[in-house]
Structure 1
Amino acid sequence: MKSPLGRTLSRRGFLGGAGAAAVLLGTSAIPDPAGATPLQRGLPDNPFKLGVASGDPLPDSVVLWTRLAPDPLAADGSGGMPRRRVPVHWQVAEDEGFRRIVKRGTAVATPELNHSVHPEVWGLRPGRHYFYRFKVGTDISPVGRTKTAPAHGAHVSSVSLAVASCALWQQGFYTAYQRMAEDDLDLVLHVGDYIYENGVPANGGTRQTTVPDYLSPETVTLERYRLQYSLYKSDADLMAAHAAHPWAVTLDDHEVDNDWADDIP
């Protein structure tokens, strides 16, 4: 791949630039809800097929996540969404029945961010469980549960963590994530290789689950990376673990390319 200056652009360089652009889109260029198109009747199919998630908890804040994807494995990587901005309403409550809602707001899902939203919720109490959900038109997401970090300087007798890494989809089932969802945890820490860039066999490898043939080539384009994440995140056990606890995630090599560090002088 060539950059505008004629220099060879590595896959890592491309993704780094794309990531920087995503940061800009998510901060200084925050979408305006007034420019989004409300959905009166929802989408033709359930848009929350990739579930919900929360992460990066602070004593008074947490980040929520969902992605609108009525067809997560649509060949173009769009998730089956139209190319328009869609308002996504969110709520945070102290109870699972949402009788005591403490925070609410609206984020905008844009095609540029693959119709994912990442609202940062502030003004929460430290060391507390909260429940959250999203709504688009008449469609309501599954309910997620999260937890804020302890107050700064607080005496904490114990912290319960689960650590995960190296989850190659076609080499096995995500039963460890199922156990995480069942356990009482303060945080899930994922230390890398959340996805692998490898192509996926048509029979799903060990899973013996048929997947589209356009997932067989190695992941090298933005659309293909989006499809890879869609495949991984469609796993029911992974979705359950995300919905049950807040996560903190760091990268290793396979989120980009195997052993890419060797390519850097």
Structure 2
Amino acid sequence: MTTAIPNPGLGTFRLTGDTLKFAINEALKLGYRHFDTAQFYDNEAEVGATLNDSDVPREELFITTKVWWDRLEPTDLKASVDESLQRLGMSYVDLLLIHWPSPDNAVPMQDYLTALKEVKEAGKARHIGISNFTIAQVSQAVEILGEGEILTNQIEIHPFLQNRELVAHCQRHGITPTAFMPLAVGKVMDDETLKGIAERHAVSPAQIAIAWLNQLGIPTFPSSTKAKNLKSNIEALKLRLSDDEMAAIANLDRGERVANPDFAPKWDQ
């Protein structure tokens, strides 16, 4: 049985200092329990300190962090996880991801995924997963680790980049796709189709995007620093879109990718 990933979570990319602390504390008050960070975000220590200072017990939280692509050599990967846990002030994370597949397969996938599983077996991660893996890479990862071992593939999904074939491929293997950048860095707010649907429901286009993902069974974790947006993101899960509205959003897919660094794999879409 697939473990439920708390939805929505709070993404912390680019959040630091008092802004990060406010966002986490406000999210906790609203009932958020999933917090997503990464070695690359350079905020694990602040995320951990804020969560550890809260009144919410650790066992109620779901903490995700990610190993950066320059720490994938097995010995280094394991050392990097220990460093992450030290920064977080925690003995384990709930979900540990490979942030990006090794560029040009410089470190063989067999090596770093085996090390990732060993970190889990050592009790330092309750679940493991991948991020930014293509269809072929997902297939390879499943061959290496076996069915049921990979909890999620965290990928860019929003109305303008729907990644449907990759989503379906993950789901066929029992892997829950999770969506980063669900609001396409704010572009959903300007789309006429989403604005029209939002008006009918008396909500925002951002809420429609989150509701659309929720209806597809895809957890997400938008980043937000405003109390009203944190509240509206969690309220979006109560929305139910009609079949016609879901079809209209499906038609918005145009392969518009936001996260596309020079070390990215060759994308499916």
Taking structure 2 as the reference length, the TM-score comes to: 0.28
Higher helix share: 2
Higher strand share: 1
Taking structure 1 as the reference length, the TM-score comes to: 0.28
